[in-house]
Amino acid sequence: MNGPAHYREAERLARRAQSINDPACALVDAQLATAYATLAQAAATAMAASVDQEPETGMPPADVDAWFEVCGTKRPTVPDPAAEPGYGDYADAIPE
């Protein structure tokens, strides 16, 4: 189970806890939701470097993509400096 799956499970259990009439059963679901949310938070914290567009996160790309999907956002693109206008314009200005 990856971080986004923990997040989704936490949401599911929290919703279910709100709809249960038995307080003891609702408490169990609420506690489970808290545990899953904590695991999701740990995974999201590990993802922070990816959000900042750092190349080495230690998180598999599929997990990074899953986080952006579960958050409802698009993964940011890292611009290719070689594709940007003006790249290398200064190479001719450097005296030999």
What is the pLDDT at residue 55?
56
Which of the two residues, 11 and 76, has the higher pLDDT score? 11
| Residue 66 resides in a domain | yes
| Residue 32 resides in a domain | yes
| Residue 19 resides in a domain | yes
| Residue 84 resides in a domain | no
Strands (DSSP E) contained in 1-96 are none
What is the pLDDT at residue 66?
79
List, for residues 57-67, the tens digit of each pLDDT value.
566 777 777 77
| Residue 93 resides in a domain | no
What is the pLDDT at residue 86?
57
Overall pTM > 0.85: no
What is the pLDDT at residue 84?
59
| Residue 83 resides in a domain | no
Which of the two residues, 23 and 82, has the higher pLDDT score? 23
Enclosing domain of residue 31: 3-76
Which tokens hold the place of 45? 């914290």
Per-residue pLDDT band at 96 (split at 50, 70, 90) = low
| Residue 85 resides in a domain | no
How many structural domains is the chain composed of?
Answer: 1
| Residue 67 resides in a domain | yes
